[in-house]
Chains A and B, each alone.
Chain A
Amino acid sequence: MTARTIRTVAAAVTAATLLAGATACSTPSDGKDGGTEALVVGIANEPETLNPLLGYGKDGNSKIFEGLLRHDAGMRLVPALAAALPKVTDDGRTYTYTLRRGVTFSDGEPLTADDVVFTYRTILDKKTNNPSKGELDAIESVRAKGDDTVVFTLKYPYAAFAERTVLPIAPEHVAGGQNVNTGPFNTAPVGTGPYMLTHWSKGEKISFKANPHYWGGTPKVKKLTMAIIKDDDMRATRLRSGDLDGAILPPNLAKTFAKDKSKRTITAKTTDFRAVTLPTDNEVTGDTAVRRALDLAVDRRAMVAAILEGAGTEAYGPVPGGSRWFAKGTERANDLAKAQRILDEAGWKPGEDGVREKEGQPAAFTLWYPSGDKLRQEHALAFAADARKAGIKATVQSGTWEVIEPRMKNDAVLAGGGNPADPDFDLYNLLHSSLAGDGFNNMARYANADVDRALEEGRRSGDQDERKRAYDTVQRELADDPGYVFLTHVDHRYVMRDDWDGPSTQVEPHDHGLGAGPWWNVEDWAPKK
Chain B
Amino acid sequence: MARMAGRRLLFAVPVLAAVTFGVFAIAAASPFDPAHAYAGSAGLSAGQDTLDQLRANLHADDPFTVRWWRWLTAALHGDLGDSSALRQPVSQVIGERVGWSVLLCAVAFTLALVLGTLLGVLAARRRGGLLDRAVTGAAYALEAAPPFWIGLLAVWFFALRLGVLPAGGLTDTGSDVVTADQVARHLVLPAAVLAVSQLPWFVLYVRQGVGDALEEDPVRGARARGLSEHTVLLRHALRSGLLPVLTLVGSRVPELITGALLVETVFSWPGIASATVEAATSVDFPLLAALTVLATAAVLAGNLLSDLLYGLADPRVGFDG
Contact = CB atoms under 8 A, between A and B. Distances in A.
A261 interface: no
Given A38-B174, A186-B87, A441 B47 contact: yes
Given A21-B102, A26-B178, A126-B53, A440 B46 contact: yes
Contacts of B32: 400, 402
Nearest to B160: A237
A25 B99 contact: yes
B36 A401 contact: yes
A382 interface: no
Contact of A3 (B58, B274, B312): B312
A483 interface: no
B228 interface: no
Interface in A207-254: 207, 223, 225, 227, 234, 237-238, 241, 243-244
User: Which of the listed residues B54, B58, B168, B174 has the most CB atoms from chain A within 10 Å of its own CB?
Assistant: B174
B152 to A, nearest CB: 11
Interface residues of A, number: 73
B308 to A, nearest CB: 9
Nearest to B35: A131
A116 to B, nearest CB: 22
Interface string A432-465: 0001011111000000000000000000000000
Contacts of B107: 18
B42 A132 contact: yes
A202 B38 contact: no
A48 B87 contact: yes
A439 B46 contact: yes
Interface string B127-152: 00000000000000000000000000
A14 B270 contact: no
A49 interface: yes
Nearest to A30: B177
Interface in A45-69: 45, 48-49, 51, 54-55
A131 B178 contact: no
A49 B178 contact: no
Contact of A22 (B50, B57, B103): B103
A6 B313 contact: yes
Interface in A108-140: 126-127, 129, 131-134
Contacts of A237: 160
A49 B85 CA distance: 9
Nearest to B163: A241
Contact of B270 (A49, A55, A202, A429): A202
Given A17-B102, A131-B39, A182-B87, A40 B173 contact: yes
Nearest to A29: B177
Contacts of A223: 174
B251 interface: no
User: Which of the listed residues A20, A22, A203 has the most CB atoms from chain B within 10 Å of its own CB?
Assistant: A203
A402 B57 contact: no
B36 A417 contact: no
A179 B274 CA distance: 24
A187 B38 CA distance: 17
B299 to A, nearest CB: 17
Contacts of B170: 201, 204
A141 B270 CA distance: 43
Interface string B285-296: 000000000000
A225 B174 contact: yes
A258 interface: no
A3 B241 CA distance: 13
A204 B270 contact: yes
A352 interface: no
Contacts of B46: 131-132, 134, 439-441
A234 B168 CA distance: 11
Contacts of A198: 176
Contacts of A437: 48
B214 interface: no
Contacts of B31: 400, 402-403
Contacts of B89: 182
A199 interface: yes
A203 B40 contact: no
Given A6-B313, A129-B57, A225 B173 contact: yes
B57 A181 contact: yes
A127 B92 CA distance: 22
Contact of A18 (B43, B83, B103): B103
B317 to A, nearest CB: 12
Given A25-B100, A202-B86, A402 B33 contact: yes
A27 interface: yes
Given A186-B87, A202-B270, A439-B47, A402 B177 contact: no
A21 B170 CA distance: 14
A417 B45 contact: yes
A429 B46 CA distance: 9
Nearest to A430: B45
User: Which of the listed residues A48, A131, A182, A184 has the most CB atoms from chain B within 10 Å of its own CB?
Assistant: A131
Interface of A: 1-3, 6, 10, 14, 17-18, 20-22, 24-27, 29-34, 38, 40, 45, 48-49, 51, 54-55, 126-127, 129, 131-134, 179, 181-182, 184, 186-187, 198-199, 201-205, 207, 223, 225, 227, 234, 237-238, 241, 243-244, 400-403, 405, 417, 429, 435, 437-441, 511
24 contacts: A18-B107, A20-B99, A20-B102, A21-B100, A22-B99, A25-B178, A30-B177, A32-B177, A38-B174, A131-B43, A131-B50, A132-B46, A133-B53, A134-B49, A182-B89, A186-B87, A186-B88, A202-B86, A203-B278, A223-B174, A225-B174, A241-B163, A439-B46, A440-B47
Given A3-B239, A127-B57, A134-B49, 4 more contacts: A131-B40, A203-B270, A204-B270, A401-B44
